Amino acid sequence: MPAKTFYIETFGCQMNAHDSEKVIGTLIRNGYSPVETPEEAGLVLYNTCSIRDKAEQKVFSRLQQFKRGSGKGKVFGVLGCVAQQEGERIFERAPHVSLVCGSASYSRLPELLVQLEAGENRVTGLSLNRGETFETPLTRRDNPHRAYITIIEGCDKSCAYCVVPFTRGPERSRTSAGIMEEARQLAGSGYTEIQLLGQNVNSYRDPSPAGWDFATLLSRVAAVPGIRRVRFTTSHPRDFGRDIVEVIDAHPAICNHVHLPVQSGSDAVLARMQRLYGRDEYMRRIEWLKASPRNISLTTDIIVGFPGETEEDFHRTLQLLDEVEYDSIFSFKYSPRPNTAALNLDRAVPEEEKGRRLTILQEKQRSIQIRRNSALIGSVEEVLVEGRNAALGQWIGRTSQNRVLNFASPATNGDSLLGRYVSVRVTRAGPNSLVGEAVLRA
Ligand code: SF4
Q: Which domain holds residue 423?
A: 380-438
Q: Kindly give the distance from the C-alpha atom of residue 277 to the centroid of ligand 1, in angstroms, as a whole number.
A: 13
Q: What is the CATH number of the domain that holds 407?
A: 2.40.50.140
Q: Kindly give the distance from the C-alpha atom of residue 159 to the centroid of ligand 1, in angstroms, as a whole number.
A: 6
**Residue 241: other Cβ atoms inside 10 A:** 15
Is residue 236 lining ligand 1, measured as CB closer than 6 Å?
Answer: yes
Q: Please report the atom of ligand 1 found closest to the CA of residue 162.
A: 8
- HEC secondary structure over the chain: CCCCEEEEEECCCHHHHHHHHHHHHHHHHCCCEECCCHHHCCEEEEEECCCCHHHHHHHHHHHHHCCCCCCCCCEEEEEEHHHHHHCCHHHHHCCCEEEEECHHHHHHHHHHHHHHHCCCCCEEECCCCCCCCCCCCCCCCCCCCEEEEECEECCCCCCCCCCHHHHHCCCEECCHHHHHHHHHHHHHCCCCEEEEECCCHHHCECCCCCCCEHHHHHHHHHCCCCCCEEEEECCCHHHCCHHHHHHHHHCCCECCEEECCCECCCHHHHHHCCCCCCHHHHHHHHHHHHCCCCCCEEEEEEEECCCCCCHHHHHHHHHHHHHHCCCEEEEEECCCCCCCHHHHCCCCCCHHHHHHHHHHHHHHHHHHHHHHHHCCCCCEEEEEEEEEECCCCEEEEEECCCCEEEEECCCCCCCCCCCCEEEEEEEEECCCCEEEEECCCC
| Pocket residue to mutate for ligand 1, from 199, 262, 272, most atoms within 8 A of Cβ | 199
| Pocket residue to mutate for ligand 1, from 150, 157, 273, most atoms within 8 A of Cβ | 157
Indicate whether 198 belongs to any domain.
yes
Indicate whether 131 belongs to any domain.
no
Q: Please report the atom of ligand 1 found closest to the CA of residue 199.
A: 5
Q: Mark whether 256 and 223 lie in a shared domain.
A: yes
Closest CA to 146 of 75, 227, 259: 227
Q: What is the CATH number of the domain that holds 25?
A: 3.40.50.12160
Q: Mark whether 110 and 96 lie in a shared domain.
A: yes
Q: Mark whether 290 and 367 lie in a shared domain.
A: yes
The domain boundary, picked from 357, 374, 391, lies at 374
Q: Kindly give the distance from the C-alpha atom of residue 244 to the centroid of ligand 1, in angstroms, as a whole number.
A: 19
Closest CA to 42 of 9, 69, 70, 75: 75
The per-residue pLDDT for 385 is 96
The per-residue pLDDT for 134 is 79
The per-residue pLDDT for 304 is 98
Indicate whether 362 belongs to any domain.
yes
Is residue 200 lining ligand 1, measured as CB closer than 6 Å?
Answer: yes
**Closest C-alpha residue for ligand 1 atom 4:** 199
Q: Tell me whether strands 404-408 and 434-438 are parallel, antiparallel or unpaired.
A: parallel
Q: Mark whether 181 and 248 lie in a shared domain.
A: yes
The per-residue pLDDT for 412 is 59
Q: What is the CATH number of the domain that holds 341?
A: 3.80.30.20
pLDDT per residue rounded down to tens, the chain (442 residues): 567 999 999 999 999 999 999 999 999 999 999 999 999 999 999 999 998 888 888 899 999 888 756 777 899 999 999 999 999 999 999 999 999 999 999 999 999 999 999 999 999 999 987 677 778 888 899 898 999 999 999 999 999 999 999 999 999 999 999 999 999 999 999 999 999 999 999 999 999 999 999 999 999 999 999 999 999 999 999 999 999 999 999 999 999 999 999 999 999 999 999 999 999 999 999 999 999 999 999 999 999 999 999 999 999 999 999 999 999 999 999 999 999 999 999 999 999 999 999 999 999 999 999 999 999 999 999 999 999 988 888 999 999 999 999 998 865 556 789 999 999 999 999 999 999 999 865 5
Indicate whether 135 belongs to any domain.
no
The per-residue pLDDT for 414 is 64
